[in-house]
A and B are shown apart, each in its own frame.
Chain A
């Protein structure tokens, strides 16, 4: 029986090729798109789950409110890990990790600039299951000056030589011995290092008892069966036990006093599996994803499948007239309804299995491009996971059943007398369900149109928002400390080149997120009102080089010898400290141990706010200190250049660098590119959304095309008669298109509020949001209309220009 059904289905498909191709191709593209989305979502959801005990691993974070301002950080004080293990029997293991800054590493005569040089405690490899190719997890990091390198790093440094026992030299003068080699950190980890050294190398990490500074990441593994709440309940007492005494000692007030004035400070633990998608914590090591995107993509996948299945239903039921005779005859010779339903369902399953195979081929074919687009390393390993192939097959069977259910129900209901009677037409009536399906397709497509435009607009808005400084044509050299002692000479050498407009040395650059915070006080206020404010160290040309405007006062200048104690603050700082007439006022940088040597900083200027981080975060208060080459060790030298001949200018910079610096490699980045890279996540998401939306709309168009062609076929006689009676071609086209336009208009009415609500909630994720303007909706409606007219119009034109005699004869 089944072979008979399938044979029949294949012959019928071959006979009506266009419809079959539309049906199968639509489903195949739909399945391919869904598989890509599934792989993407699966990868996003898999972050940190490669660790065997991922369900028991937590990171300790700090959060609170300081002087009315909320803060959070993924950092803890240095000794926290040790005392967590001592005080809480529920904690099985703990390890600290520090993500080091840029390092210059030497091995023999080779030099390497490393951005991902980490430090960790010896238990690190017992907590995180990054396989060691060489070395034991328990011992690789338990000695000072030991380092574990990843396979890739080992190859870079040592080639084919065995790295174990080799010594590398850091720019701080310390030597490290390679004690282990690990696999590269999996791409779905929330951190990535190339080298990881033993944290106990440093005394401060070995013996440090400072509970005030937040300087390390602390990870803990809870014992089996221990609930997160059991630890969290104990944290307030823990804070009082260790943090409170130091607070009293250094600042002269307790946590209690602190809480009394509305401030707060606490530790909390976060499951590592939540870090990638559900973390709202500032200063994460790597930009994370967002769970809302997972929901959005899953929703798109469902929409795509629904649209493709709807096409199948629409085309199958619309084409029922073609099959009426067959159905009637089968019934006459004894087929009962159930066997017909079986037949139609097996046909739709055949289609969906075929579509699955084509879809899989498409996925395989486009995987590389998809990986390039998303920056991921996804693949379908059909035969590696035993369950994958059966699951996919089951999925396509379910899809086939879903898409075939209504056509099966509808077609099997035909009365054989009606369908076998000559001239009796079946299936030509407008079906209510078909109308609902077409309407839903239009609605979903319009929502996707609007979504695409809003995402694109938001991204554009973020990238082009007035940042408060001029990001164009600024080149930043790293390791500026190499020239800082000779900075004046170096700068004057550079300025001699007319392509260079100005240069400034600073400890942070927009997008680098390298600045730290100091706690400041207003004169006469109690220490409990101390508030951390980000600080920048820069020379007098900083504002000029970055095009930052001054609102009041002035920037640092050599003309003022008293500027060593001067500061320039931003508008956000003025607001946060509630300062009126800030120029000439003081901020105190208290010395925690000895209030006698508190530093009084005089405000000499107020800068207009500028986004020195990214637009994900609102502008925070900031204080600028003047650079002093005797005291500061700063990383960056920003250089404003003329637009023309950038390559030549960079070559000039390198040349000058090499003539001033002996042993530091020339390394630079372009501010505009660096800032753009901050939005890589959003860009990828937006691109994916746009691609998948276009696919969904394309599949909907395929269905629309088939439906329009069928409508035109059905109306061939009517059109022929209209022409004989003198109707114009344009009149006929308009009458055919009007029916579909009606659906577009109704779909817009339904789609607009849904799209608005979805967009509103999505935009709430951003500190700065684009407006949801009415023109987006109007443009989407116009686009939907345009595509409909184009798709239906082609078929309408074909029908309207065909010979009326043929149509009458055909009928």
Chain B
């Protein structure tokens, strides 16, 4: 599903040039659950942004669903993104002025679903995520765990092939964190490819493979126990 060859990202300002990713080559198969780990500033989020088509690499090749997307413009990337990728962020990034239902509904609006289709789909997902009872509430009225469940609902509502999660438990206590990881695991078991960036070894244990980054380079890849349980 994902293949990168010598993916490089360099940030340039007037005086400084920072290499965030340095010739990263990797491959992720459909249905895989992969964790990306590494210290702060190692390039994890930059890699996730490029994989999520939020950014373009400075150099190298990136194949998404078999297409070379490394030189796609914003419009092309937006189209691929909305049809295929869901995002989960550490700080949830829910829109404060929209209630739970409306937050989850939003991707379907941009995909042009009818209001009836949207209603069915959103309620189905909210039920699945066990947050339906809070659908009229606004983000500020929810706990962190509930907010992240809404964020996950939003990520999966359009049934994407790939979910990218940037430290999804970073702002949650351990109980809520586990709850969210279980949700992601469940989705993965349903066939959704999952890539998470995390500092937490415990979260990484949910994945089948851990890619470790350091100074913008992959320093190793480990297969986890999960790979054997759930190959």
**In the docked arrangement, what's the CA distance between A421 and B49, Å?**
11
Is B3 part of the contact surface with A, judged by Cβ < 8 Å? no
Verify if A381 is at the interface (C-beta below 8 Å from B): no
Contact of B87 with A417 in the complex, beta carbons under 8 Å:
no
Decide: A334 and B74 in contact? CB cutoff 8 A: no
Contact residues of A: prevailing secondary structure: helix
Q: Which residues of A contact B74 (CB under 8 A)?
A: 336-337
Docked Cα-Cα span, A1 to B82, in Å, equals 16
Q: Which of A12, A334, A420 contacts B82 (CB 8 A)?
A: A334
What is the chain A residue whose CB lies nearest that of B49?
A417
Of B83, B93, B106, the residue contacting A420 (CB under 8 A) is B93
How many residues of B are in contact with the other chain, CB < 8 A? 29
- Contacts A417-B54, A420-B89, A422-B91: A334 and B110 contacting too (C-beta < 8 A)? yes
> What are the interface flags for B138-152 relative to A under an 8 Å C-beta threshold, 1 for contact and 0 otherwise?
000000000000000
B8-31, CB < 8 A from A: none
Complex contact B87–A333 (CB within 8 A): yes
Q: Pick the contact of A333 from B45, B90, B91, B106 — CB < 8 Å?
A: B106
Q: How many cross-chain pairs have Cβ atoms below 8 Å apart between A and B?
A: 65
Instruction: Please tell me which one of the listed residues A325, A331, A336 contacts residue B95 in the complex, with CB atoms under 8 A apart.
Output: A325
- Report A-chain residues with C-beta under 8 Å of the C-beta of B95: 8, 325-326, 329-330
Measured in the bound complex, the distance between the Cα atoms of B139 and A15 in whole Å is: 14
Contact between chains at B81 and A4 (CB < 8 Å): no
Which residues of B are found within 8 Å of A329, using beta-carbon distances? 93-95
Beyond A332-B93, A333-B81, A335-B78, 8 additional pairs, beta carbon < 8 A: A8-B97, A325-B93, A329-B93, A330-B106, A332-B52, A333-B87, A335-B110, A422-B91
What 8 pairs between A and B have smallest CB-CB spacing?
A: A334-B82, A11-B97, A333-B107, A334-B110, A336-B78, A326-B95, A329-B93, A12-B97
B212 within 8 A of A: no
- B89 / chain A contacts, CB cutoff of 8 Å: 420
- What mask results when residues 174 to 192 of chain B are scored 1 for a CB within 8 Å of chain A, else 0? 0000000000000000000
| Interface contact A4-B78, CB-CB below 8 Å | no
Mark contacts of B52-81 with chain A using CB atoms, 8 A cut-off: 1 yes-contact digit, 0 otherwise: 101100000000000000000011001101
Q: Which residues of B contact A335 (CB under 8 A)?
A: 78, 82, 110
Q: In whole angstroms, what is the CA distance A328 to B106 when docked? A: 13
Chain A, 481-514, CB within 8 A of any chain B CB = none
Q: Is the CB of A332 within 8 A of B106?
A: no
Is B97 a contact partner of A333 (Cβ separation < 8 A)? no
- Asked if residues A326 and B106 are in contact (CB atoms below 8 Å), the reply is no
Residues of A within 8 A of B97 (CB): 8, 11-12, 15, 326
Residue in contact with A332 in the complex, picked from B45, B75, B81, B91, CB distance below 8 Å: B81
A292 at interface (Cβ–Cβ under 8 A)? Answer: no
Does B111 lie at the interface of the complex (its beta carbon under 8 Å from any beta carbon of A)?
yes
- A331 CB → nearest B CB, Å: 7
Q: Flag whether A677 is at the interface (Cβ < 8 A).
A: no
User: What is the distance, in angstroms, from B45's C-beta to the closest C-beta of chain A?
Assistant: 8
Q: Check if B154 is an interface residue, CB within 8 A of chain A.
A: yes
A interface residues with partner B (beta carbon < 8 Å): 1, 4, 7-8, 11-12, 15, 325-326, 328-337, 339, 416-417, 420-422
The interface residues of chain A lying within 8 Å CB-to-CB of B54 are 332, 416-417
What B residues does A420 contact at CB under 8 A? 89, 93
- Considering the complex, give the chain A residue whose CB is closest to the CB of B151: A329
Most A CB within 10 A of own CB, among B45, B55, B83, B89: B89
User: Which residues of chain B in 80-123 are interfacial with respect to chain A, using CB atoms and an 8 Å cutoff?
Assistant: 81-83, 87, 89-91, 93-98, 102, 106-107, 109-111
Q: 28 pairs across A/B with beta carbons < 8 Å? A: A1-B109, A4-B109, A7-B102, A15-B97, A326-B95, A326-B96, A329-B94, A329-B95, A330-B106, A330-B110, A332-B52, A332-B54, A332-B81, A332-B87, A333-B81, A333-B87, A333-B107, A333-B110, A334-B78, A334-B82, A334-B83, A334-B110, A336-B75, A336-B79, A339-B110, A416-B54, A420-B89, A421-B45
Q: What chain A residues lie within 8 Å of B94 (beta carbons)?
A: 329
The CB with the most chain B CB atoms within 10 A, among A8, A330, A332, A422, is that of A332
What 1/0 mask marks residues of chain B from 37 to 61 whose CB sits below 8 Å from any chain A CB? Answer: 0000000010001001011000000
A residues in contact with B45, CB < 8 Å: 421
Complex Cα–Cα for A329 and B106 (A): 10
Chain A residues in 8 Å Cβ range of B96: 15, 326
Query: Which chain A residue has the least Cβ–Cβ distance from B48?
Result: A417
Known: A1-B109, A8-B97, A416-B54. A334 touches B81 (CB 8 A): yes
B38 CB to closest chain A CB (Å) equals 17
Nearest to A326 among chain B residues (CB) is B95
Using CB atoms, name the residue of chain B closest to A9: B97
Q: How far is the CB of A329 from chain B (nearest CB, A)?
A: 5
